[in-house]
Amino acid sequence: MQVRESEIQKIKTKLSSCDKCPLCNQAKNKVFGEGKIDSPLVLIGEAPGKNEDEQGKPFVGYAGRLLDELLSQNGLTREKIFITNIIRCRPPMNRRPLKTEVEACSSHLIDLLNIIRPKIIAPMGNSAINFIFNKVGLENKEIGEIHGTPMNAKLSFGDLIIFPLYHPAAAIYNRKLFTTLLEDFEKMVKILGV
- Contact footprint for ligand URA (CB under 6 A): 45-49, 52, 58-59, 63, 85, 169
Shortest separation between residue 71's beta carbon and ligand URA, angstroms: 14
Burial of 175 (0-12, 13-18, 19+ CB in 10 A): exposed
Would you say 88 or 139 has its CB closer to ligand URA? 88
Sign (positive or negative) of CA dihedral 155, 158, 161, 166: negative
Shortest separation between residue 83's beta carbon and ligand URA, angstroms: 8
Would you say 121 or 169 has its CB closer to ligand URA? 169
Would you say 95 or 156 has its CB closer to ligand URA? 95
Shortest separation between residue 63's beta carbon and ligand URA, angstroms: 5
The CB-nearest residue to ligand URA is 45
DSSP labels for 83-97?
EEES-SSPPGGGPPP
**Cross-strand bridge partners of residue 165:** 124
Separation in Å, CA 174 to CA 100, 105, 108, 167 = 31, 31, 32, 12
Would you say 147 or 158 has its CB closer to ligand URA? 147
Shortest separation between residue 45's beta carbon and ligand URA, angstroms: 3
Would you say 92 or 158 has its CB closer to ligand URA? 92
Would you say 47 or 71 has its CB closer to ligand URA? 47
Shortest separation between residue 82's beta carbon and ligand URA, angstroms: 13
Shortest separation between residue 32's beta carbon and ligand URA, angstroms: 11
DSSP labels for 3-60?
HHHHHHHHHHHHHHT--SSTHHHH-SS----EE-TT-SEEEEES---HHHHHHTSSS-
Number of other CB atoms surrounding residue 13 within 10 Å: 10
